Amino acid sequence: IYLFSTYFTSGITRRFKEIIRRLAKRKHYIHVITGCKNAKLWLEGNDYLQEYVTFSILPSTDFTNKIDCACPFLFPNTAIYFSIRRFSPDVIHIVEQTPAAMLCGAFAKSLNIPIVWSSHTNIDFYLSTYIRSYAVKMARRIYQYIRLKHLIYSSINLTVSQDFADYMEHTGIPRPVLVWKTGVDSELFHPRRRSLSMRYRMFGTLTNFTHEQMDSITLFLCVGRISPEKNFEFLSLLLERISNETFLCIIGDGPYRHTLEPLFPIDRVYFFGYLGGEELASAYASADYFIYASVSETFGQVYLEAMASGTPVIAAEGGQLKEFFINSEHGYLWEPDNIESAEDAVRLAMKNRDYLSIKARQQALKHSWDSAADQLNNVYYDAIKKNPKHNETNIIIILFRLFYYGFHWFICILLALFLMAPFVKVSSPKSTMTQNNIFCRKKQQMYSTKRCFSS
């Protein structure tokens, strides 16, 4: 199995790490292409991973502006082609549609190797955040064209929620787009990891709370990369509307943090930075509620990790939650961008934490990584059956295919460079904050007017 994943440190790749462990135990050989320079450290101390999993770390760079999502950007590189030839995989699994990922698809198609392509990020949604408003419609059409031109190469297309699968099919991706189950490590993310020492750390060092106060204050937790589309500004507005006896801990990092952090009061919010593994699990279990304002998630692994930890979810309503979440059973949802709806959701959740905690944990236990690995294992075999690997030895045919598919890739990159890149915007959190304030106040006035009429 040849896995092309630009990054190996994000929420998406927490999924892949769990799957790789299980595939390696089945004695599948897996070669991972990534731009994450520290990826090999993951293998240390694990004999069977060291035997069955190898890495190629290719040149990459990190964005240094607000577009950065704390993930390395892997340059398109001919080394991808030579890596494929050396490893000679039976199937290639490509993640997302970055320029380097699409080049990998072109190489795989040139060599007639079956492709499984998984899409985890709704780029169509993000374009309205990162592209100037007058060019969003054009940019979205160009992106959808580029995505379609490459996903038609794959034997099987995967995504992580039914809503996103339906949307991709609606934009022309060949049917069916399969929904890849997710899972959660219910032993790692467990209520028993609740810790007073971790809870106290989550209040930071700038507050003067006593231990008794930190025990009694309601502690909200938000976990995710700190980037504009995650809608952190909405949480700052929400904090103004709820009790002062509440505190928010944000775990995650990214360049957006430095301009977002000043917008929150230091006596109500602490930016913890990055946490992983057992420390992250302890943070989930030590919070009272998990709160999340993003509506851009295609699945959102963080919800399930919180639920497995026995931490009820309070979040903006979105299609990503339909796969596993029941409102008022596992937490409460609010109508996106509706500050009063969010305030109501918080108030309702705070009345019934014990019940929500038990139900959330029970629901999370239904989602195992073993089941997700079984499904992907079957997908790989199905892809191989649909398009058996054929080792072409005629150098003329190989060169022709490389030119043909490489040319298509090059044209798509030119389209992106000349018709999308010039319209990229990097808005500051302050401007977004101002827009959200205006929008939410208008919504508040509208709802107040409705209430006056109804009464």
Q: What is the CATH number of domain 191-364?
A: 3.40.50.2000
pLDDT digits (tens, 9 = 90+) for 238-263: 998 998 899 999 998 887 888 888 88
Mean pLDDT, all residues of the chain: 87
Give the pLDDT confidence score for residue 8 in this predicted structure. Answer: 46
Residues facing 74 on adjacent strands? 60
d(CA 157, CA 432) in angstroms, rounded, equals 35
Give mean pLDDT, residues 178-188.
Answer: 92
What's the pLDDT band for 213 if we cut at 50, 70, 90?
Answer: very high
pLDDT digits (tens, 9 = 90+) for 342-362: 999 999 999 999 999 999 999
Select from 66, 81, 71, 34 the least CA-distant residue to 53: 34
Give mean pLDDT, residues 358-386.
Answer: 95
- Helix segments in 42-184, DSSP class H: 47-52, 79-87, 99-110, 123-130, 136-151, 162-170
Give the pLDDT confidence score for residue 12 in this predicted structure. Answer: 76
* pLDDT > 70: percent of the chain: 89
Three-state DSSP class for residue 389: coil
* pLDDT > 90: percent of the chain: 62
Give the pLDDT confidence score for residue 429 in this predicted structure. Answer: 45
Q: What's CA 326's distance to the chain center, in Å?
A: 21
Q: What's the fold here for domain 2-183+369-424?
A: Rossmann fold (3.40.50)
Q: CB–CB of 6/99 below 8 Å? A: no
Q: Amino acid identity, residue 201?
A: R
Give the pLDDT confidence score for residue 454 in this predicted structure. Answer: 39
Sketch the domain layout of the chain as residue ranges: 2-183+369-424, 191-364
Bigger pLDDT: 394 or 455? 394
Give the pLDDT confidence score for residue 451 in this predicted structure. Answer: 40
What's the pLDDT band for 70 if we cut at 50, 70, 90?
Answer: very low
Give mean pLDDT, residues 366-376.
Answer: 93
Give the pLDDT confidence score for residue 449 in this predicted structure. Answer: 39
Q: Tokens 């794959």 appear where?
A: 154
Give mean pLDDT, residues 416-441.
Answer: 65
Q: Please check the confidence at residue 75 and state whether its pLDDT lies above 70.
A: yes
d(CA 10, CA 14) in angstroms, rounded, equals 7
d(CA 262, CA 232) in angstroms, rounded, equals 12
What is the value of pTM for the model shown? 0.83
